[in-house]
A = this chain, B = another copy of it.
Amino acid sequence: MSKWSKKLVELGIELPEVAKPVAAYVPAVKSGKMVFTSGQLPTVNGELIAKGHVGQEVTPETANACARQCALNALAAINSVVDLDQIEQIVKVTGFVSVAPDFVTHSAVMNGASDLLLEIFGDAGKHARTSIGVSSLPLGAPVEVELVVRLKG
């Protein structure tokens, strides 16, 4: 068992089953030394853990937990195409937060994803990030997160 797998065990984090895409695509694609994931929703066993707009039906605290779950699902997506231990660097995190027009604390929501990646990967988890507030997301999800990572070698 190598570095990241060991860290997951240490942190008591279990990688979920890869979320089944809701349509005609795949969870992640490897391109050379990079892996691009599909947008991941905050599902556990195929069910959204929250539904609605952040700042309305969904509290910022719940949304932060959703972003963490999205990131965990994104790691499971990567793990479906390459061994997680092949990750050299988390390159980019893009987070879409379903919000009303007056919402301004997208960053606090998306820290749920970033903090998980830093916990697991340390310096290799330091990523560029874009956070955006959108009208709505598939299935009524409050948050959606996609990752771009770099592989070793």
**Interface flag for A110 (CB, 8 Å):** yes
Q: Are B33 and A136 in contact (CB under 8 A)?
A: no
Interface size class of A (residues with CB under 8 A): 35 or more
Among the 9-residue stretches A1-9, A11-19, A35-43, the one with 4 or more Cβ atoms under 8 Å from chain B is A35-43
Contacts of A29 in B (CB 8 A): 89-92, 126-128
Q: Are B138 and A104 in contact (CB under 8 A)?
A: yes
Contacts of A114 in B (CB 8 A): 23-25
Contacts of A134 in B (CB 8 A): 132-135
Bound-state CA distance A151–B24 (Å) is 22
Bound-state CA distance A94–B90 (Å) is 20
Q: Tell me the chain A residues, 84-112 only, with Cβ under 8 Å from chain B.
A: 89-94, 96, 98-108, 110-111
Closest-by-CB residue of B relative to A81 is B128
List residues of chain A with CB under 8 Å of any chain B CB.
21-29, 31-34, 36-39, 53, 77, 89-94, 96, 98-108, 110-111, 114-115, 118, 126-140, 144, 146, 148, 150
| Besides A32-B34, A132-B144, 15 other A-B contacts (C-beta < 8 A) | A23-B108, A29-B91, A31-B34, A32-B150, A36-B92, A36-B148, A38-B129, A39-B130, A96-B132, A99-B136, A100-B136, A128-B146, A131-B138, A132-B137, A133-B134
